[in-house]
Amino acid sequence: MRIAIIPSLTGLLVMATISACSSSDDGGGSDLSEFNPGATTTPGVPGAPAPGAPAAPPADPNAAPAAPGGVTPAGTEGQGTPPLAAPGAPAPAPGGAAAPAAPAPTDPAAPVDPAAPVPGTPVPGGFFTSGVWTGPVTTSVRNVGSTVTPQSFADHVEGTPFCASGNVALEPAYENDAGLNFTLSQAAGAAAPTAVVPTGNGIAVTFSRSTGAALRVELSGADGSWCHEFDEVQGQAFVPYAEFTTTCWDSYVPGQAYNKEPVTVLSFEVPGRAVQDLAYDFCVAGFADAAGIEQAPAIPEGFIAQQLSGTLSENAGRAIVTGADGNKYVVSNNAWALNLPQGVQVINYVNNSFTIMQQSAGGQGDQVLTFPYVSIGRNGAEGGNFSQTTTLNDNLPIQVSQIQSIPTRFAHNINQGAQGDFNATYDVWFAPSAPTAHYETALGAFLMVWTHIPNGRQPIGQVVNNNVTIEGQSFTLWAGPRGAGLQATGGDANSPVISYVANATINDYDFDLNAFIQDAVNRSAQGQLAGQQFGANLFLTDVFAGFEIWSGGQGLQLQNFSIDVQGGQ
């Protein structure tokens, strides 16, 4: 069964009364101490180093995920809170230490405001307290063109979360991020923070976000910076200190682990992209130096919204979302064909649905050009800690023999006026064993379920049965080898592609995907798949639902895709 993820976020909500949680080991009970209102945040200096290391680009920043499996040239197949600096205070220096305040220029002849703060002295308010940690909270951005709101927490309402929203401008070298910075030990009026050494097992945090942008938590001090990319979409999370690393963007080579070196700043950061500006909007209700997730701050009423939304124009752009079922999904623009210019396809997503707003590619014959989709699994650009996948709760990979059922639903609007040349299909990937390394294609076999076929198109292989009834619908069954002429990374040209093509368009299909998988297993055993082998020893790794597009498609909608892989030992 999939573990439910608490649904989406509210953005810059004003919460009732949020407080800071102590690090006491009391199984969730906490000493409540208030967020102090009103300190000023200091935006980061454009172009200046961020508190932590920059996000490392993937092996090929512009490479889109691999082509769908069925495509061939001949057809298709807890409660703590944050710290802040005073008005005019310097942005945190690299490594998280506060830079010394520059003396303010003064005019001896100027009138003196007796209510004005002494230059360089933090103004009370906008501070957080979590156990023994207390200090000011700031926002920051790192590259020219990026934005963050608020610029200051001078008007922050006592007892509410700290939130940040804005836009991270694209930067080809990934030297771009934005976020919230919590100084861990700096009393009001203190000129500089004091380094602290955590005493708990990790950071317990309660957060929310209203876009599918990645979010990291980072610890910074004089000895360096260590980060962790959240796998959770939002809600409560616990990150053991040992899982903070110096290269948290790499799922396979995570770098040096944090070993409780002294730190001064805890930050929440949105890493930017290389070829697309990235909108973000997130809130932190609190965090704690904690023994476990039970010490994460309580989730405030109304803090978790029902919608994550955004726009993907980067060809390989993807976002993490939650569906109405509470499960985690990946939405991908996936304009994967070679030599397509960036921005040729644009999709707007809302949770596990999307609409194609622009699609200008076409005219390349039998070549499928894009495959926008919603999916579960671990393929492609994983992000740090596999955050850009659904590994947290997808029950994958799973051996076919262990699958009990896979209830799923795929609805679309193909019969409502969208123009172009496209199908609607599931693309289901299998491997001979559970993958242990990066992959961008099915490693063992493909199974497709087309719910719409356009005129003049066909799947890979040959027809083996033109009237197969499964889950209340009639299909034509095709089978054949994948072939070598695909633009995909890895895989085997001899991998079987089994395609069930609906004999009439199905606009909304609610069914058990395992019925198709088991049908393919049984037919393979009986020699009914034109020589293709599809066994119960395979491992299901990924499931996609979307549109293979040869041309057109503007206005197409995928509506509330859902899936739940059930089974296992």
CA angle 136, 141, 143 (to 5 degrees): 155
Q: Using an 8 Å Cβ cutoff, are 459 and 501 in contact? A: yes
Rounded Cα–Cα distance for residues 465 and 403 (Å): 25
Residues 311-343 have pLDDT tens digits of 999 999 999 999 989 899 999 999 988 789 999
Could you tell me where in the chain the CATH 2.60.120.430 domains are found? 15-45+78-99+117-303
Residue 260: name the closest of 218, 344, 335, 197 by CA.
Answer: 197
Reported pTM: 0.78
Token pair, residue 147, equals 């934005």
- In the three-class reduction of DSSP (H, G, I as helix; E, B as strand; rest coil), residue 514 is classed as helix
Question: For residue 185, what are the contacts with CB-CB under 8 A and spacing of at least 6?
Answer: 132, 133, 134, 135, 193, 194, 195, 196, 264
Q: Using an 8 Å Cβ cutoff, are 474 and 467 in contact? A: yes
Residue 292: CA atoms inside 13 Å, Cβ hemisphere, count? 6
Rounded Cα–Cα distance for residues 283 and 136 (Å): 16
**Domain 15-45+78-99+117-303 -> CATH class:** mainly beta
DSSP character for 1? -
135 by Cβ neighbours in 10 Å (0-12 / 13-18 / 19+) ranks as buried
Rounded Cα–Cα distance for residues 312 and 356 (Å): 10
Phi, psi of 414 (to 5 degrees): -55, -35
Rounded Cα–Cα distance for residues 520 and 516 (Å): 6
- In the three-class reduction of DSSP (H, G, I as helix; E, B as strand; rest coil), residue 309 is classed as strand
- In the three-class reduction of DSSP (H, G, I as helix; E, B as strand; rest coil), residue 416 is classed as helix
Q: What pLDDT is stored for residue 422 in this prediction?
A: 96
Residue 32: name the closest of 73, 79, 94 by CA.
Answer: 79
Cα Rg of the chain (Å, integer): 26
Residue 210: name the closest of 279, 323, 308, 283 by CA.
Answer: 308
Mark the ranges of the chain whose per-residue pLDDT is less than 50.
1-125, 487-488
Q: Using an 8 Å Cβ cutoff, are 266 and 287 in contact? A: yes
List, edge to edge, every strand of the sheet that includes 353-359: 309-312, 345-350, 353-359, 557-563, 407-412, 508-512
- In the three-class reduction of DSSP (H, G, I as helix; E, B as strand; rest coil), residue 386 is classed as helix
309-380+396-567 CATH, one of 3.40.50.10800, 3.40.50.300, 3.30.420.40, 2.60.120.180: 2.60.120.180
Residues 248-265 have pLDDT tens digits of 988 888 799 999 999 999
Q: What pLDDT is stored for residue 417 in this prediction?
A: 77
Question: For residue 418, what are the contacts with CB-CB under 8 A and spacing of at least 6?
Answer: 356, 552, 553, 554, 555, 556
Residue 52: name the closest of 308, 225, 170, 264 by CA.
Answer: 225
Could you tell me where in the chain the CATH 2.60.120.180 domains are found? 309-380+396-567
Q: Using an 8 Å Cβ cutoff, are 397 and 431 in contact? A: yes
Q: What pLDDT is stored for residue 490 in this prediction?
A: 62
Is cis: bond before 51, omega within 30 of 0?
A: no
Q: What pLDDT is stored for residue 143 in this prediction?
A: 84
Rounded Cα–Cα distance for residues 502 and 546 (Å): 15
Q: Using an 8 Å Cβ cutoff, are 314 and 332 in contact? A: no
Please report the beta strands in 272-413, taking only residues with DSSP state E, as ranges in sequence order: 278-290, 309-312, 318-322, 328-332, 345-350, 353-359, 373-376, 398-399, 403-405, 407-412
Sign of the C-alpha dihedral computed for residues 446, 452, 458 and 461 taken in this order: positive
Per DSSP bridges, beta strands 71-72 and 462-470 are: unpaired
- In the three-class reduction of DSSP (H, G, I as helix; E, B as strand; rest coil), residue 307 is classed as coil
Q: Length of the chain, please?
A: 569
Q: Using an 8 Å Cβ cutoff, are 216 and 230 in contact? A: yes
Q: What pLDDT is stored for residue 253 in this prediction?
A: 81
